[in-house]
Structures are given as structure tokens and as C-alpha cells.
């Protein structure tokens, strides 16, 4: 893994945005995998600013988001789709038909996940997958466990994951859906390049386990060690427990 430690959250956001801009400059039809959460908020702000300044063009790009809550439609204000509309989609020239999301209210969630995998394949696969990380090591909604599921699938959220998503539901943990639809670790690892982003001291322990620990399904992000093109963008706080950097 190629670890890059930057001064602060803002520098991380700038570097990740620059990575996306370079990807689209080299390949205007690039397929991007996108995350939600607190971590990418500044990155999306930076991308909006770069777009407003004419430095990036999404006209031919395609996006696939990592995950969505099961039971929430895309127009529910706490849905990840709504998050993406607010933070990016409403502000840039990404064609609507090339924005892809797992449908949280699909009548058959398993079939919906198969549809998503097929859509990713039809688009030619993901060129650049951007990831946040849960403090337990989850990526997307692939929670730690004795085994992991390769393809997109319905997933049960760990209690801590529901707590950390409560802000989207006015702080009410009970309102956070207990299940979600998520790309699998195989879906993620099939991306041609991966960028993992983490900021803040709260992520320092899990970043150490991800980068320097054993490859284990108990820390799903550690499976990224198996991929040949992973960059990890960290601020000093998230990098503070790494020994080798």
C-alpha cells in the first residue's frame, strides 16, 4: 500500500480531489466508485470548487456508490443517495443516467445486488474506487466477521456502525436501518485503482491494523493489502500509530 501522510484534513481533501481530476483528465469516461460518510465531505466540497473553476469535467464520467440503507428510497433525506445529491451530484455536470446507486427499496434486495454487479461489469468495471473506513475496519458496509461476501449483497450493520450513522437521523440510533445493501469486498478489489481516505485520531488504530496488521476478515480494510494499486491518504492524526511511516 502506498501511504501518503498530509498536513491536515484539508490537504487530504485536496489530494483526493486531485487524484479524481487526474483520473478524469487521463480518461474522461472513467468509472468512479464513491463513498459517503463524514470523511469525504471536504473532498466533495473541494471537487465542487474545482468544477466551478472549470478544472474538472464529469460529462462522460460514470459513478457507482458503495452502499445504501435497506428500506430507504433515494429521496429519503437520510439516504446516501440524498447525501450524494447534496454534496456532489446537484452541483456538477454528471449525466443523471450515469449515476448508479443500489436501490434501498428494491422489492428483491438480492436481485438488486445482482443487477448492480451486472451494471458495474457493463460499464467496464470501476477505474477508481474511493473508500472511507469505519472505526471497526469496515469498508462500504462490509463489517468484520469470520468471513466476508465477495459480491454486492444485503448486509447487517454492526451496532457501532448504526451509532456512527445516527447523525443522519437527527442522532436517533434506533432510526438507523439495521440493514443495508453494499458492494462486496470482491466488488471493491476488482476496481483498477483504490484510494482509502482516513482522517482524525479516532481512525489511527484501525489504520494501523489495515496497513501494518495481518490480512484478516476481522478488519475488512486489511484485504486491500491484496490489491496492487492502493493509495492511502491520511492526515497526521490518522497516521499517528503507524510505525513504518
Which positions lie near ligand GLP, rule CB under 6 A?
35-39, 66-67, 132-134, 140-141, 161, 165
Verify whether residue 227 is a known catalytic residue.
Answer: no
Closest approach, Cβ 132 to ligand GLP, in A, equals 3
The residue among 60 and 225 lying less far from ligand GLP, judged by its C-beta, is 225
Closest approach, Cβ 245 to ligand GLP, in A, equals 21
The residue among 66 and 185 lying less far from ligand GLP, judged by its C-beta, is 66
The residue among 104 and 134 lying less far from ligand GLP, judged by its C-beta, is 134
Closest approach, Cβ 101 to ligand GLP, in A, equals 13
Q: Which of 112, 143, 231, 235 is catalytic?
A: 143
Closest approach, Cβ 165 to ligand GLP, in A, equals 5
Verify whether residue 87 is a known catalytic residue.
Answer: no
The residue among 57 and 236 lying less far from ligand GLP, judged by its C-beta, is 236
Verify whether residue 142 is a known catalytic residue.
Answer: no
Verify whether residue 143 is a known catalytic residue.
Answer: yes
Q: Which of 65, 103, 136, 165 is catalytic?
A: 136
HEC per residue, the chain: CEEEEECCHHHHHHHHHHHHHHHHHHCCCCEEEECCCCCCHHHHHHHHHHHHCCCCCCCCCEEEECEEECCCCCCCCCCHHHHHHHHCHHHCCCCHHHEECCCCCCCCHHHHHHHHHHHHHHCCCCCEEEECCCCCCCECCECCCCCCCCCCEEEECCHHHHHHCHHHHCCCHHHCCCEEEECCHHHHHCCCEEEEEECCHHHHHHHHHHHHCCCCCCCHHHHHHHCCCEEEEEECCCCCCCCCC
Residues classed as catalytic: 67, 136, 138, 143
Amino acid at each position: 500500500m502506498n501511504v501518503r501522510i498530509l498536513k491536515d484534513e484539508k490537504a487530504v481533501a485536496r489530494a483526493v480531489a486531485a487524484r479524481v481530476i487526474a483520473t478524469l483528465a487521463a480518461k474522461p469516461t472513467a468509472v468512479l466508485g464513491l463513498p459517503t460518510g463524514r470523511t469525504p465531505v471536504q473532498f466533495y466540497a473541494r471537487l465542487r470548487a474545482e468544477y466551478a473553476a472549470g478544472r474538472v469535467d464529469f460529462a462522460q464520467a460514470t459513478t457507482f456508490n458503495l452502499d445504501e440503507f435497506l428500506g430507504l428510497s433515494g429521496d429519503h433525506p437520510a439516504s446516501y443517495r440524498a447525501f450524494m445529491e447534496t454534496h456532489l451530484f446537484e452541483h456538477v455536470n454528471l449525466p443523471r443516467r450515469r449515476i448508479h446507486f443500489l436501490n434501498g427499496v428494491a422489492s428483491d434486495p438480492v436481485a438488486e445486488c445482482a443487477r448492480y454487479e451486472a451494471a458495474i461489469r457493463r460499464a467496464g468495471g470501476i477505474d477508481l474506487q474511493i473508500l472511507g473506513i469505519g472505526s471497526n475496519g469496515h469498508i462500504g458496509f462490509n463489517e468484520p466477521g469470520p468471513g466476508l461476501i465477495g459480491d454486492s449483497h444485503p448486509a447487517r450493520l454492526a451496532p457501532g456502525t448504526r451509532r456512527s450513522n445516527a447523525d443522519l437521523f437527527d442522532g436517533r440510533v434506533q432510526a438507523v436501518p439495521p440493514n443495508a445493501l453494499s458492494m462486496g469486498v470482491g466488488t471493491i478489489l476488482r476496481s483498477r485503482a483504490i484510494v482509502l481516505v482516513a482522517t482524525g485520531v479516532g481512525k489511527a488504530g484501525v489504520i494501523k491494523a489495515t496497513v501494518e496488521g495481518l490480512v484478516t476478515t476481522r478488519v475488512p480494510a486489511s484485504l486491500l493489502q491484496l490489491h496492487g494499486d492502493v493509495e492511502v491518504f491520511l492526515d497526521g492524526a490518522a497516521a499517528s500509530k503507524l510505525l513504518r511511516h
